[in-house]
Structure 1
Amino acid sequence: MRTVVPFAADSPKTRLSDVLTADERSSFARALLDDVLATVRAGGGAPTVLSTAPLEVDAPVAVDDRSLSTAVNAVLAEADGAVAVAMADLGIASAAAVKRLYTAEGDVAVAPGRGGGTNALVVRHGDFRVDYHGVSYRDHRERAREVGASVSVVDSHRLATDVDERADLAEVLIHGDGPARDWLVDAGFELDAGGGRVTVRR
């Protein structure tokens, strides 16, 4: 399935600034992207990176520096058939979870993220458009209803976990098995369970 992977090439992962330098955040974001591209392919998808700037990566790249919602909606408006969208920071996504997304029933299949976001979706309805601001999971279900599109929800820990904050790094070390986990290990991160809740230390 055609799968769009949006990627913010400029100043990525700013919420990790307490543990990573700007250069490290850029490098780690690329490792996460590599993880997602490999996982999409393993799940049967054909990824295209939708980047805010030119990028050298092992996948086709479309450059669009507009907002996330505007850029994705431009792709949906021109699509002839189903299109999936998967965020570039799903560091523990698995091929099995991606296959579940691709095969979910409905005109729109949504994989919610923690905190009310939308981490991945499949769009099979020509009138559906995204809006990633605010509580996008709720908003996407409402938008589907407005255009008469049926909706299915893909409840998956691996698709719900996006990597934005320090605590998310522990999830990658525990569940990841690709470039993002390797990057963290090489950078000196390890699990820290000394305070009750598992976190990371360096």
Structure 2
Amino acid sequence: MQVVVPFSATDPKTRLADVLAPDERREFSLAMLEDVLSAIRATGREPRVLTTSSIDVDAPQTVDSRPLTPAVNDVLAEQKDTAIVMADLALATPDTLERLFSTPDDVVLAPGRGGGTNALVSRHPDFRVDYHGTSYLDHLRIAGDVRASVTEVDSHRLATDVDESSDLAEVLIHSDGSACQWLREAGFSLSVTEGRVEASRDGKG
């Protein structure tokens, strides 16, 4: 099985702009990527990064500046047994990824919150992705169209992609990897505001 991690190297994580400067967003994105790569390696597999431009990372990388959907579909066309794991799954662990990788159906989907697809495995030669909108529903439909068997992996850790400032608390609570360390060194800590646990910087909400 090839395991591919897409990464947007140009102005990543724009929805974190309310709490992180552009250079910080890039550094934090790379820290999450390192966590994802480490978790994949711990399953005994060697990941490859599919990046929009060359980055400084200790992993094989393929540069493809096209949008996510055509870039990933070319990867799926290369090899039937392929896993796609998003680079912002800072909570992913080797155990949760192994459950994804070892589930034997033609298509295995790990849905994200809001209807996205955070990770998948395709073993069907005709399955292709469509990451626009509610991609989880689209992938169920596409799998049905090509008569592929489908299983969903229900996992909080795989469902949590870090896109917005409200997601940072999840990293501080559930992770001890590079992304968590980066946040702490940048001055983020947990705070309680109106009964909600949030990540605040230097004690400020």
TM-score, structure 1 normalization: 0.98
Shift of 1:200: 1.1
Does the CA contact (< 8 Å) of 1:129 and 1:143 recur in 2? yes
Question: What runs of 5+ residues in structure 1 fail to find an aligned partner?
Answer: none
* Cα distance in structure 2, aligned partners of 1:43 and 1:164: 25
Corresponding residue for residue 164 of structure 1: 163
1:98-132 Cα deviation digits (max 9, x unpaired) = 00001113100000000000000000000000000
Shift of 1:139: 0.5
* Cα distance in structure 2, aligned partners of 1:170 and 1:137: 25
Summarize the alignment of residues 25-174 of structure 1 with structure 2, pairs less than 5 Å apart. 25-79=25-79, 81-174=80-173
Give the ranges of 4+ consecutive aligned residues of structure 1 lying more than 3 Å apart after TM superposition: none
Summarize the alignment of residues 183-202 of structure 1 with structure 2, pairs less than 5 Å apart. 183-202=182-201
1:11-51 Cα deviation digits (max 9, x unpaired) = 00000000000010010000010010001111232200000
Question: What runs of 5+ residues in structure 2 fail to find an aligned partner?
Answer: none
* Cα distance in structure 1, aligned partners of 2:76 and 2:53: 20
* Cα distance in structure 2, aligned partners of 1:45 and 1:146: 30
* Cα distance in structure 2, aligned partners of 1:46 and 1:115: 29
* Cα distance in structure 2, aligned partners of 1:97 and 1:44: 13
* Cα distance in structure 1, aligned partners of 2:76 and 2:57: 23
The answer to whether structure 1 residue 181 and structure 2 residue 180 are counterparts is yes
- Report the identity percentage: 59
* Cα distance in structure 1, aligned partners of 2:28 and 2:19: 12
